[in-house]
Amino acid sequence: MSQPILEISNLHAHVEGNEILKGINLTINQGEVHAIMGPNGSGKSTLAQVLAGHEAYEVTEGSVRYRGLDLLELDPEERAREGVFLAFQYPVELPGVNGMYFMKAALNAVRKHRGLDEFDAADFLTLVREKTQVLDIPKELLNRPVNEGFSGGEKKRNEIFQMALLEPSLAILDETDSGLDIDALRIVADGVNKLKRPDNAALVITHYQRLLDYIVPDFVHVLSGGQIIKSGGKELALELEEKGYDWVKELSREGTVEAV
């Protein structure tokens, strides 16, 4: 039986006094891809931010275990070094921070934490060359200041590139598909699929079903009103697409919440 990577139980979280997450339960095992879908304002991005450790979100109840660690006790950088990776919905532009320098600093912080030798410039370049081939990302992008002036698609590809470099155990993709045309979507999804291994896992957060045509999930969860109100296999995504979010909201109101 595969090992659990992430175990979220009864997670409640506030931001600026408003309760956004109202008791999330979710277990992700090695080798699995989970998708979280839900209408706007359901708490999808809050869940991603809480897992990455954003200080604006206050956890008021519940626990998150990640590979045997109490995730909520760790600083954001410690989580990243332990292998949690959040692909941001809105990647931040960092004028004046060179992309290569940034990624080398990130990679070496992670390697140092894992007791590995830090990469020098030459090793790092070799690795970058290898990953750019796998992900088909233009090298010019990487030498520019991080995300500055990038198109929406370029920013998302840069997130996936960083993910490829850092080789996380748990990748959280927060609406990576938003703002992408179909070609960019295919490239991003292709990148994610290539990084899949039996010992890691991914949590794909999306509003639309179309990303899941390319990243096929093992499980689909519907988040609404800060709770997972329905879980199922990949076919649930198609059903949602067909019937719309009103359907699950009605299910939720009727109290016919199904759990897997």
Partner 1 sequence: MEVSGTTINFENNAITVSKKYTTENIQQFVDAFNLFSNSLNGESDSTLGAKRSASIEHFKVTGFPTTKHEEWKYTNMLPIIRNDFHPHLTLDQREVDEAFIRASGYRGEAFRLVFLNGHFLPEQSSLEGVPEGVVVTNLASAIREKTDLVLEHIVGYGDSFEHSFATLNTAHLRDGAFLYIPKNVKLQKPVHILYLTTSTDQPVVTYPRTLLIAEGGAEGSVVEEFTGKSGEIYLTNAVAEAIVGENAHLSHIKIQHESRDAFHIGASHAKLGRNANYFNNTISFGGKIVRNDPWAVLEGEGGHAAVDGLYLVGEDQLIDNHTSIDHTVPNCTSHELYKGILRDNGHGVFNGKIFVQKDAQKTDSVQSNVNLLLSDEAEIDTKPQLEIYADDVKCTHGATIGRLDDTSIFYLRARGIGKAQAEQMLTYAFAVEVIEHISDENIREYAIELLDARLDK
- Which parts of this chain interact with partner 1 (CB under 8 A)? 52-55, 75-77, 79-81, 85-86, 88, 91-92, 94-97, 101-103, 105-107, 109-110, 113, 145, 162, 166
Give the nearer residue to partner 1 in terms of CB position, either 71 or 220. 71
Residue 143 beta carbon to partner 1: minimum distance, rounded to whole angstroms: 14
Minimal distance, residue 84 CB to partner 1, in Å: 8
> In whole angstroms, how close is the CB of 97 to partner 1 at the nearest point?
5
Tell me whether residue 109 or residue 251 sits nearer to partner 1 (CB atom).
109
Nearer to partner 1, 32 or 174 (CB): 174
- Say how far apart CA 215 and CA 225 lie, in whole Å: 25
Is the Cβ of residue 57 or residue 219 nearer to partner 1 in the bound state? 57
Strand order in the sheet with 219-224: 84-87, 170-174, 201-206, 33-37, 219-224, 227-232
* CA gap 171, 160 in Å, rounded: 10
Beta carbon nearer to partner 1, 26 or 166: 166
In 3D space, the residue among 169, 149, 146 whose CA is nearest the CA of residue 30 turns out to be: 169
Q: Please say whether the beta carbons of 102 and 110 come within 8 A.
A: no
- Complex with partner 1: residue 142 or 240, whichever CB lies closer: 142
At its nearest, how many Å lie between partner 1 and the CB of residue 77?
Answer: 4
Nearest-approach distance from CB 116 to partner 1, in angstroms:
13
Min dist CB 79 to partner 1, Å, is 8
CB of 36 to partner 1, least distance (A): 19
The CA-atom distances, in angstroms, between 249 and each of 42, 225, 229, 253 are 11, 9, 8, 6
- By beta-carbon proximity to partner 1, the closer residue of 102 and 208 is 102
CA distance 60 to 111: 32
What is each CA distance from 79 to 129, 192, 244, in whole angstroms?
27, 20, 35
Rounded-to-integer distance, Cα 234 and Cα 123, Å:
40
Neighbours of 18 (CB within 10 A): 9
Contact status, residue 235 vs residue 65, Cβ threshold 8 Å = no
Contact status, residue 10 vs residue 25, Cβ threshold 8 Å? yes
Largest CA distance in the chain: 60
